[in-house]
């Protein structure tokens, strides 16, 4: 809402400094975004009269003028303007003048001195809408009542200030000059000067000229109409154009301008249309018929449905009620008789129709927020007052008023004690009454009654807010609330936090990525057509395809970030993210037993109509460059699991598992699924070369994804201390010759099984392949085996016997002692 | 014999004086004091001395031995010290060369500030509640006093989920968690709920279709608007220091009444007015208010008995203010050169 300060001045004395005004209104609830002083970037421009215009001695296209600027002697100005002549009044930018486009200095133009410049409309930041009589191309020839030498601001009314307000949706009444005048008066405790409009009119019987019937009095509670005959269409006067301009509305002609003026002043949309096109001179406010069509003013044909409200004549709809008129209903140059409409349409009706037709207008924006339901007639009268003031036609002195409005004001119990205890204030009842009275509230039998323009009052808290904002939010004290509450992080929150800290401690940089991604990722990570990860939660109105589905895997987001870093020439990256996946759930779950009731009232709880997807948390790790390889990644995973107290995990080839479809994005020979007691905890490995290419990463890349709920389940709750050894350990080294494809985990399993309780640690210290071994498809694996007993020092015999068992077990799986 | 002994002492001391390394010093010890050394050789002649001379010479010999031993150990200490100094000189390094770094990760700036806020609230007795990011219209709008066709819904450009008849959506505000909490917990309630929210805003330096909010909710008997002010002032002083000032402005949210917007004194100018705060002296920080009685009612809490306050912080804005970040996009691009700075 842009407010003209001059216009505001009609209703309240607002002569305080503009900054003070903006601050005060902001602090009482009408937030000022900014303000603009018109013509602020123009100075030293005055009205001048051209005394003579003669040829230039050196240039055919230039003229030399003597100009009277109200000073002792005329000044000489060289111009190329063809549209000025002797006797014209023009804006003259003097030597040293400032204009939006720069400074003006005296100069010689082709050898003849010029002491200034004539200004056109655009030079002054104006358009032909501001001064319709002026030539938009040439110099602005002023036809205003002004003095020679007068400053241009006051001469042409370029001296208003426009204040831009951000009005919240609960206060549509403030989308008007009078609404803001009321707020100003309440904020500063000033008198408000709003008079009921008056018009004289000419004799005539409206009922013989026009008939109005409301067929749906719920959706249209009031319809006022009147007629202006012998209309004279033309531009509106300067003061009106100025105010419209300051309000951000383009002046068009006197009739359109009057409807806009009244709408801006009171917040009531007005409609003016040509009586000729109302067939049967009969207006019916009725529901549309299904399939009924109307061509609206914007030139689009719209098909209507029976839940929409139209203004119709006897044959056809002429307007969609409260939204837009039909194509032929507007004012034409040859219009002689105009009908003015001022009505109250129910907000939801307008809103739904506007949404359904995807059609918005200034009028619909106001109706759907809610206008003052009691001012339809006042506004009709105001329009007629203006018609007479502008001499735009003859107003018939009788009007139509079909009124079905409920005039009962909104009322709330007035409870000063409760208000004080709710706000934490210590105001007297008299103070509260004074604040509320300033806001036009009244009191009656222990109740406070809201004025009709306040559509947002319904409970005690609303009254408390009114008191608080006039008292000043910043005058309310600050207190500490009482009571004891026990607070702690939940086990999930603790676990996630520890995991995050551990991932960072191991060298990961934490990232944050979007939850929605492009569905192209399915193919980018090589998911098979039937992969369950292709079943996604889809957004119907995404910003673009790139953010149109909720991810079912966090891996693509990680790959995007790795790719971004690689392509920004960052040599290496080790990243991690803790975030959610969104997995559709087929079966709809219902609340069971007590769960189905609200804990505080025992009433039934809202049931979900559709099953929401699961949102499990994942830890995703990704790396490239530096010392990244499969084992660096695996080391990080192992250390993380260890830190989170997760033991007894196994690594199986990802290609042998169906637990994660991300396996298709990984190198089949260099990827693993992390298992514990039959549960898959996560997947990790080298990114498949094709996927790496797709993501345009030029070096080997590694990634892991761990399921946080499963990790939490697997984590030992308690760390139990193991006593430090009292007796020395005995160590034996084993060098084994095995087939190339023998996984070392098998060997370790065999050793562990055979050595039993006294085994302390198996450490792999060498993997070797001689040429000979390679030829035979063999490799050599060397272990250091540490054994220890808690009962006493192990004897050589004990150790040797354990080794013998180990060798036997190893031989059974095809591993022999290397000679 | 006496002269011989004295001569040995003089000679030994001369040679010791000239000696420059530890190994030569050992040779000297053997030469003078060893089993086959010069002193021993002389002492072997003791038998030829008279009983009167024997104790005198014996004493002298012991003294000479002791003197030489002392001289030897003094010299050894000096040589060791010289050698140590030489070694230390040799081992001198350029201490301006950079250190060797162990891998050390970083938390995302969003996490760092969120953790800080979580801890402040845990200290004030607030639990941390989580709620679904994909939720239904009821929890995100309707229960929060935003019935269908409420004009305020326009301002919340919501993403809707396919095949749900526009009832399932990406939450536009963490306020939905208020409803979940009040449906399942009895007062006193004190929670914050940090999380992701989604609005259909195109990406630019200050907008993102995904951002983070931290919701706060307190419900109990006798909760007042002044308590809301006190709580927020405490939070901001802990985050931004005791000098920061808050300004409360009336505003409108459907789920609070009275509602306010809270501004903080400009981080840059401290309230005087500068280009960063557009000459206002204050920067918009968060929305808050007293929980609307209809919201309490919708969740089964009697507004005649209980009252409460709620607030919603934008995490990104706080992170950007904290670290002087001028472009929101940096937070989601995750360039390691950016992440490494926090």
Among A396, A353, A401, residue whose Cα is nearest residue A375: A401
Distance from CA of B149 to the nearest CA of A (A): 7
C-alpha A798: how far from chain center:
75
Query: What per-residue confidence (pLDDT) applies to A779?
Result: 93
Alpha-carbon distance of B340 to A156, in angstroms, equals: 60
Among B105, B154, B299, B61, residue whose Cα is nearest residue A511: B105
Distance from CA of B16 to the nearest CA of A (A): 50
In this prediction, residues A304-314 reach a mean pLDDT of 95
How many residue pairs from chains A and B have C-beta atoms closer than 8 A? Answer: 273
What is the number of residues in chain A?
A: 819
In this prediction, residues A381-386 reach a mean pLDDT of 97
Alpha-carbon distance of A53 to A372, in angstroms, equals: 58
Among A622, A698, A661, A649, residue whose Cα is nearest residue A532: A661
In this prediction, residues A113-121 reach a mean pLDDT of 93
Say yes or no for a CB contact (<8 Å) between B340 and A509.
Answer: yes
Say yes or no for a CB contact (<8 Å) between A423 and B226.
Answer: yes
C-alpha A295: how far from chain center:
33
State pLDDT tens for residues A702-728. 999 999 999 999 998 888 888 888 899
Lowest mean pLDDT among A201-205, A292-296, B64-68: B64-68
CA distance to A194, A224, A267, A453, per residue, from A374 (Å): 15, 11, 12, 8
Q: Closest to B161 (Cβ–Cβ): which among A369, A513, A537?
A: A537
State pLDDT tens for residues A9-51. 999 999 999 999 999 999 999 999 999 988 888 999 999 999 9
Say yes or no for a CB contact (<8 Å) between B250 and A582.
Answer: no
Residue B156: band (very low, low, confident or very high) from pLDDT cuts 50, 70, 90: low
State pLDDT tens for residues B1-22. 788 888 888 888 888 888 888 8
Say yes or no for a CB contact (<8 Å) between B230 and A513.
Answer: no
CA end-to-end distance (rounded Å), chain B: 84
State pLDDT tens for residues A458-514. 999 999 999 999 999 999 999 988 777 788 999 999 999 999 999 999 999 999 999
Q: Which residue of B has its CA nearest to A488?
A: B127
Using the Cβ of A461 and the Cβ atoms of chain B, whether some distance falls under 8 Å is answered with yes
Q: Is the pLDDT of residue B154 over 70?
A: no
Cβ pair A796, A787 in contact under 8 A:
no
Residue A810: band (very low, low, confident or very high) from pLDDT cuts 50, 70, 90: very high
State pLDDT tens for residues A534-547. 999 999 999 999 99
Cβ pair A212, A401 in contact under 8 A:
no
CA distance to A28, A165, A267, B252, per residue, from A453 (Å): 18, 18, 10, 17
Alpha-carbon distance of A115 to B100, in angstroms, equals: 74
Q: Closest to B247 (Cβ–Cβ): which among A28, A347, A474?
A: A474
Q: Which residues of B touch A543 (CB under 8 A)?
A: 200, 202-203, 209
Alpha-carbon distance of A804 to A806, in angstroms, equals: 5
Q: Which residues of A touch B170 (CB under 8 A)?
A: 515, 539
CA distance to A294, A521, A576, per residue, from A689 (Å): 61, 16, 21
Query: What per-residue confidence (pLDDT) applies to B62?
Result: 86
State pLDDT tens for residues B102-113. 888 999 999 999
Residue A259: band (very low, low, confident or very high) from pLDDT cuts 50, 70, 90: very high
| Chosen from A33, A600, A615, A628 to mutate, greatest number of chain B CBs within 10 A | A600
Q: Closest to B334 (Cβ–Cβ): which among A465, A564, A582?
A: A564
Following DSSP, what letter does each residue of A735-750 receive, concatenated? EEEEETT--HHHHHHH
Highest mean pLDDT among A239-243, A441-445, A756-760: A441-445
Supply A470's token pair.
């006039």
Say yes or no for a CB contact (<8 Å) between A612 and B132.
Answer: yes
Query: What per-residue confidence (pLDDT) applies to B152?
Result: 67
Residues 560-599 of A with CB under 8 A from B: 561, 564-565, 568, 570, 573-576, 580, 582, 598-599
Q: Which residue of A has its CA nearest to B259?
A: A465
| Chosen from A606, A632, A633 to mutate, greatest number of chain B CBs within 10 A | A606
In this prediction, residues A419-424 reach a mean pLDDT of 97
Q: Is the pLDDT of residue A101 over 90?
A: no
Supply A228's token pair.
């202006």
Q: Which residues of A touch B257 (CB under 8 A)?
A: 459, 461-462, 464-465
State pLDDT tens for residues A577-628. 999 999 999 888 888 888 899 999 999 999 999 999 999 999 999 999 999 9
Q: Is the pLDDT of residue A572 over 70?
A: yes
User: How would you write A517-541 as a 3-class SS string?
Assistant: ECCCHHHHCCCCCCCHHHCCEEECC
Say yes or no for a CB contact (<8 Å) between A539 and B251.
Answer: no
Among B70, B75, B60, B63, residue whose Cα is nearest residue B19: B75
Say yes or no for a CB contact (<8 Å) between A168 and B107.
Answer: no
Alpha-carbon distance of A107 to A40, in angstroms, equals: 25
Within chain B, how many helices (H) and strands (E) appear? 12, 9
Using the Cβ of A171 and the Cβ atoms of chain B, whether some distance falls under 8 Å is answered with yes
Say yes or no for a CB contact (<8 Å) between A506 and B103.
Answer: yes
Alpha-carbon distance of B200 to A464, in angstroms, equals: 34
Report the percent of chain A where pLDDT is more than 70: 100
| Chosen from B159, B179, B289 to mutate, greatest number of chain A CBs within 10 A | B159
Cβ pair B285, B188 in contact under 8 A:
no
Say yes or no for a CB contact (<8 Å) between B210 and A515.
Answer: yes
Query: What per-residue confidence (pLDDT) applies to B270?
Result: 79
Alpha-carbon distance of A447 to A467, in angstroms, equals: 15
Using the Cβ of A518 and the Cβ atoms of chain B, whether some distance falls under 8 Å is answered with no
Q: Which residues of A touch B135 (CB under 8 A)?
A: 612
Q: Which residue of B has its CA nearest to A352?
A: B149
Cβ pair A490, A557 in contact under 8 A:
no
Distance from CA of A200 to the nearest CA of B (A): 40
Residue A142: band (very low, low, confident or very high) from pLDDT cuts 50, 70, 90: very high
Say yes or no for a CB contact (<8 Å) between A542 and B159.
Answer: yes
Distance from CA of A561 to the nearest CA of B (A): 7
Between these two residues, A144 and B139, which has the higher pLDDT value?
Answer: B139
User: Per residue in A612-636, is it b (16+ CB within 10 Å) or e — as a string?
Assistant: bbebebbbbbbbbbeebebebbbeb
Among A435, A446, A458, residue whose Cα is nearest residue B292: A458
Q: Which residues of A touch B106 (CB under 8 A)?
A: 504, 509-510
Residue B322: band (very low, low, confident or very high) from pLDDT cuts 50, 70, 90: confident
| Chosen from A36, A368, A466, A473 to mutate, greatest number of chain B CBs within 10 A | A473
Using the Cβ of A547 and the Cβ atoms of chain B, whether some distance falls under 8 Å is answered with yes
Q: Which residues of B touch A592 (CB under 8 A)?
A: none
Residue A672, helix vs strand vs coil:
strand
Question: CB neighbours (10 Å) of residue A242?
Answer: 21
Report the percent of chain A where pLDDT is more than 90: 83
Helix or strand run (H / E) with residue B183: helix B176-184
Alpha-carbon distance of A55 to A79, in angstroms, equals: 10
Say yes or no for a CB contact (<8 Å) between A576 and B183.
Answer: no
Alpha-carbon distance of A265 to A257, in angstroms, equals: 12
In this prediction, residues A680-685 reach a mean pLDDT of 97
Give strand ranges (E) for A197-275: 211-214, 220-229, 270-274
Say yes or no for a CB contact (<8 Å) between B332 and A512.
Answer: yes
State pLDDT tens for residues B188-212. 999 999 999 999 988 988 889 999 9
State pLDDT tens for residues A320-365. 999 999 887 778 888 999 999 999 999 999 999 999 999 999 999 9
Say yes or no for a CB contact (<8 Å) between B183 and A368.
Answer: no
Among A234, A233, A232, A211, residue whose Cα is nearest residue A223: A211
Query: What per-residue confidence (pLDDT) applies to B20?
Result: 86
Q: Which residue of B has its CA nearest to A515?
A: B210
């Amino acid at each position: 809402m842009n407010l003209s300060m001059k216009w505001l001045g009609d209703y309240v004395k607002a002569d305080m400094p503009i900054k003070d005004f903006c601050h005060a209104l902001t602090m009482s609830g009408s937030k000022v975004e900014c303000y603009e002083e018109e013509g602020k970037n123009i100075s030293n421009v005055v009205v001048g009269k051209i005394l003579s215009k003669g040829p230039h001695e050196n240039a055919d296209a230039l003229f030399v003028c003597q100009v009277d600027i109200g000073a002792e002697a005329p000044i000489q100005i060289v111009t190329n303007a063809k549209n000025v002549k002797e006797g014209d009044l023009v804006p003259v930018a003097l030597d040293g003048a400032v204009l939006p486009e720069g400074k003006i200095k005296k100069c010689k133009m082709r050898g003849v001195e010029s002491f200034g410049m004539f200004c056109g409309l655009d030079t002054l930041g104006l358009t032909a809408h501001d001064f319709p009589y002026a030539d938009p191309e040439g110099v602005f020839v002023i036809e205003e009542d002004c003095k020679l030498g007068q400053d241009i601001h006051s001469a042409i009314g370029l001296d208003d200030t426009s204040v831009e307000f951000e009005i919240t949706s609960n206060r549509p009444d403030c989308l008007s000059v009078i609404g803001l005048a009321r707020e100003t008066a309440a904020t500063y405790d000033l008198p408000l000067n709003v008079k009921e409009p008056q018009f004289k009119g000419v004799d005539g019987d409206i009922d013989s000229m026009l008939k109005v019937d409301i067929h749906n009095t719920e959706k249209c509670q009031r319809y006022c109409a009147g007629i202006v005959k012998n209309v004279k269409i033309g531009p509106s006067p300067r003061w009106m154009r100025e105010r419209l301009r300051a309000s951000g509305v383009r002046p068009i002609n006197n009739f359109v301008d009057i409807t806009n003026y009244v709408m801006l002043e009171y917040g009531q949309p007005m409609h003016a249309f040509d009586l000729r096109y109302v067939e049967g001179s009969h207006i019916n406010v009725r529901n549309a018929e299904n399939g009924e069509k109307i061509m609206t003013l914007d030139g689009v044909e719209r098909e209507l449905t029976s839940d929409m409200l139209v203004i119709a004549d006897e044959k056809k709809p002429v307007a969609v009620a409260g939204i837009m008129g039909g194509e032929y209903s507007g004012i034409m140059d040859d219009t002689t008789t105009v009908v003015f409409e001022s009505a109250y349409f129910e907000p939801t009706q307008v809103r739904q129709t506007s949404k359904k037709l995807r059609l918005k207008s200034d009028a619909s924006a106001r109706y759907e927020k809610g206008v003052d339901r009691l001012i339809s007639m006042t506004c009709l009268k105001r329009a007629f007052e203006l018609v007479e003031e502008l001499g735009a036609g003859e107003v018939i002195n009788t009007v139509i008023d079909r009124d079905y409005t409920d005039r009962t004001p909104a009322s709330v119990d007035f409870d000063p004690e409760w208000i004080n205890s709710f706000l934490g204030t210590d105001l007297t009842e008299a103070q509260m009454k004074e604040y509320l009275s300033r806001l036009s509230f009244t009191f009656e039998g222990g109740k406070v009654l809201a004025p009709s323009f306040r559509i947002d009052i319904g409970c005690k808290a609303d009254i408390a807010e009114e008191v608080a904002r006039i008292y000043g939010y910043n005058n309310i004290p600050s207190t500490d609330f009482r009571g004891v509450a026990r607070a702690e992080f939940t086990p999930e929150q603790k676990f996630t936090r520890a995991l995050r800290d551990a991932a960072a401690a191991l060298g990961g940089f934490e990232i944050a990525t979007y939850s929605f991604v492009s569905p192209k990722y399915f193919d980018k990570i090589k998911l098979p057509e039937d992969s369950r990860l292709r079943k996604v939660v889809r957004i119907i109105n995404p910003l673009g395809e790139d953010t149109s589905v909720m991810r079912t895997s966090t891996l693509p987001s990680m790959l995007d970030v790795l790719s971004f870093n690689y392509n920004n020439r960052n040599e290496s990256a080790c990243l991690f993210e803790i975030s959610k996946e969104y997995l559709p759930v087929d079966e709809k779950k219902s609340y069971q037993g007590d769960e189905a009731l609200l804990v505080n009232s025992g009433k039934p709880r809202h049931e979900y109509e559709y099953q929401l997807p699961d949102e499990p948390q994942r830890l995703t790790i990704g790396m490239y460059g530096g010392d990244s390889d499969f084992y660096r990644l695996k080391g990080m995973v192992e250390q993380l699991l260890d830190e989170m107290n997760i033991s007894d995990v196994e690594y199986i080839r990802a290609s042998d598992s169906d637990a994660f479809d991300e396996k298709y994005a990984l190198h089949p020979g260099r990827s693993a699924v992390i298992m514990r007691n039959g549960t898959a905890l996560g997947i990790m490995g080298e990114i498949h070369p094709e996927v790496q290419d797709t993501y345009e990463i030029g070096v080997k890349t590694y990634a892991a994804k761990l399921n946080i709920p499963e990790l939490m389940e697997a984590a030992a709750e308690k760390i139990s201390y193991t006593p430090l050894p009292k007796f020395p350990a005995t160590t034996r080294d084993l060098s084994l010759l095995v087939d190339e494809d023998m996984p070392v985990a098998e060997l370790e399993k065999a050793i562990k099984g055979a050595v039993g309780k006294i085994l302390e640690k198996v450490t792999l210290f060498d993997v070797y392949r001689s040429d000979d071994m390679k030829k035979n498809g063999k490799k050599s694996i060397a272990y250091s085996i540490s054994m220890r007993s808690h009962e006493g020092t192990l004897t050589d015999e004990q150790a040797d016997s354990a080794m013998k068992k180990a060798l036997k077990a190893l031989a059974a799986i095809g591993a022999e002692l290397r000679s | 014999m006496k002269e011989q002994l004295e001569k040995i002492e003089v000679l030994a001391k001369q040679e010791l004086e000239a000696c420059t390394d530890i190994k030569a010093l050992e040779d000297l010890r053997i030469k003078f004091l060893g089993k086959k050394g010069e002193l021993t050789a002389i002492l072997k002649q003791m038998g030829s001395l008279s009983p009167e001379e024997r104790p005198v010479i014996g004493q002298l010999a012991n003294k000479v031995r002791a003197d030489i031993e002392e001289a030897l150990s003094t010299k050894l200490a000096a040589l060791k010290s010289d050698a140590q100094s030489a070694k230390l000189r040799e081992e001198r390094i350029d201490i301006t060369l950079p250190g060797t770094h162990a891998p050390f990760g970083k938390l995302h700036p969003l996490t760092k500030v969120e953790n800080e806020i979580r801890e402040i609230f845990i200290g004030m007795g607030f639990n941390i509640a989580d709620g679904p990011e994909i939720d239904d219209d009821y929890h995100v709008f309707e229960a929060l006093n935003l019935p269908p066709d409420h004009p305020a819904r326009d301002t919340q450009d919501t993403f809707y989920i396919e095949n749900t008849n526009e009832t399932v959506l990406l939450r536009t505000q963490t306020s939905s968690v208020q409803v979940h909490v009040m449906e399942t917990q009895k007062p006193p309630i004190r929670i914050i709920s940090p999380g992701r929210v989604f609005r259909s805003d195109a990406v630019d330096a200050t907008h993102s279709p995904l951002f983070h909010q931290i919701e706060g909710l307190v419900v109990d008997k006798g909760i007042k608007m002044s308590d809301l002010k006190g709580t927020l002032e405490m939070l901001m002083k802990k985050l931004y220091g005791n000098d920061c000032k808050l300004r409360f402005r009336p505003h409108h949210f459907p789920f609070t009444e009275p509602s306010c917007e809270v501004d903080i004194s400009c981080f840059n100018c401290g309230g005087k007015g500068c280009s960063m705060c557009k000459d206002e002296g204050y920067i918009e920080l968060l929305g808050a208010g007293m929980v609307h009685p209809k919201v309490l009612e919708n969740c089964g809490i009697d507004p005649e008995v209980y009252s409460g306050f709620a607030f919603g912080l934008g995490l990104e804005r706080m992170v950007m203010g904290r670290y002087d970040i001028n472009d929101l996009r940096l937070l989601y691009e995750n360039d390691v050169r950016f992440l490494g700075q926090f």
